[in-house]
């Protein structure tokens, strides 16, 4: 039991650091590992809980980047569609969907590296479409953060705005999907439940370490850092859905 606690704590620390640095990746890193040892729905609830606290840490650490209009336009559709997605989780072939998402991310990031000045205007319709697609994928697979990151990176935001926005949007979406899991009868037991007393503080440490790295990344290079992680996630989702 002790070695399981240590490994889960290490996994949580690394995932939280990655998620804070890039604005996504916590679920993409944790879900494929934990689903090998725990039931899928219990895994989604546990990772969703860690992800929820990661959202809180991002909002606290990058609160200078508040941009409420973008958060609401992207977040409200995300909440609605995350509820729909989490309701459909048992009726959708998530592996096929995940593979397709991976292929889209690969194509997008390669395009972004080829045209680094590309930017989607922050219009109402683009934010709503992005939020809806992100919420649906998050609810179904629990790894919608990369989709959120792809849409928000296309707006070419300042890094503090990007990171706070990803945290704020994911916060409301996570509350929605976690609530739906609980209503549906999913619960945490054993190590995944009482271990939260350790894993939640560990997730903050990971976020705090990542904050130091974010501060050292030049504003103009930050988008390419996000794109690099998107590319890695894209290959992972496509090759190992």
Predicted confidence at residue 232, as pLDDT, reads 86
Give how far the C-alpha of residue 153 lies from the chain's centroid of Cα atoms, to the nearest Å.
13
Among 66, 30, 50, CA closest to 207: 50
Q: Give Cα separations from 144 to 147, 155, 167, 214, 221 (angstroms).
A: 5, 18, 13, 22, 24
Predicted confidence at residue 91, as pLDDT, reads 59
Predicted confidence at residue 89, as pLDDT, reads 61
Structure-block tokens of residue 171: 């916060």
Domain that holds residue 96: 2-239
| DSSP code, position 62 | T
Can you list the pairs that 127-131 forms with residues at least 24 positions away whose Cβ atoms lie under 8 Å? Answer: 127/70, 127/73, 127/74, 128/73, 128/74, 128/77, 129/77, 130/74, 131/73, 131/74, 131/75, 131/76, 131/77, 131/78, 131/81, 131/169
pTM score of the predicted model: 0.80
> Cα–Cα distance between 126 and 73 in angstroms, integer?
9
Predicted confidence at residue 143, as pLDDT, reads 62
pLDDT in tens, 174-199: 887 788 888 888 888 888 899 899 99
Predicted confidence at residue 142, as pLDDT, reads 60
Per-residue pLDDT of the chain (241 residues; tens, 9 = 90+): 678 888 999 999 999 999 898 888 888 788 878 888 888 888 889 998 999 999 999 999 999 888 888 888 888 888 888 778 777 765 556 677 677 777 878 888 888 788 777 777 777 888 888 888 877 776 776 667 777 887 788 787 889 999 999 899 888 878 877 888 888 888 888 888 998 999 999 999 999 999 998 988 887 788 888 888 888 888 887 887 6
How many domains does the chain divide into?
1
User: Rounded to 5 degrees, what are φ and ψ at 189?
Assistant: -135, 160
Residue 25, Ramachandran bin (φ over 0: left; ψ between -120 and 50: alpha; else beta): left
Return the residue matching tokens 């895994």: 43
> Cα–Cα distance between 42 and 192 in angstroms, integer?
9
Predicted confidence at residue 101, as pLDDT, reads 75
Q: Give Cα separations from 104 to 17, 18, 111, 115, 133 (angstroms).
A: 25, 21, 11, 16, 13
Among 146, 151, 147, CA closest to 120: 151
Predicted confidence at residue 16, as pLDDT, reads 94
């Amino acid at each position: 039991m002790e070695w399981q606690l240590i490994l889960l704590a290490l996994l949580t620390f690394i995932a939280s650091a990655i998620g804070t640095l890039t604005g996504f990746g916590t679920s993409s890193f944790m879900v494929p590992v934990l689903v090998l040892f725990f039931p899928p729905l219990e895994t989604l609830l546990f990772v969703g809980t860690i992800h929820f606290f990661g959202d809180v840490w991002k909002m606290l650490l990058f609160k200078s980047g508040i941009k409420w209009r973008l958060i609401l336009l992207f977040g409200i559709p995300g909440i609605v569609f995350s509820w729909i997605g989490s309701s459909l989780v048992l009726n959708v072939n998530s592996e096929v969907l995940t593979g397709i998402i991976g292929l889209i991310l690969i194509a997008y990031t390669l395009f972004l590296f080829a045209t680094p000045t590309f930017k989607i205007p922050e219009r109402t319709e683009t934010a709503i479409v992005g939020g809806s697609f992100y919420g649906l994928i998050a609810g179904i697979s629990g790894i919608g953060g990369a989709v959120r990151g792809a849409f928000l990176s296309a707006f070419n935001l300042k890094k503090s705005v990007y990171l706070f926005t990803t945290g704020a949007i994911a916060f409301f979406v996570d509350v929605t999907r976690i609530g739906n899991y609980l209503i549906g009868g999913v619960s945490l037991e054993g190590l995944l439940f009482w271990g939260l007393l350790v894993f939640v503080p560990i997730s903050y440490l990971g976020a705090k370490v990542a904050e130091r790295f974010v501060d050292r990344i030049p504003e103009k290079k930050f988008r390419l850092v996000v794109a690099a992680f998107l590319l890695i996630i894209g290959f992972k989702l496509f090759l190992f859905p």
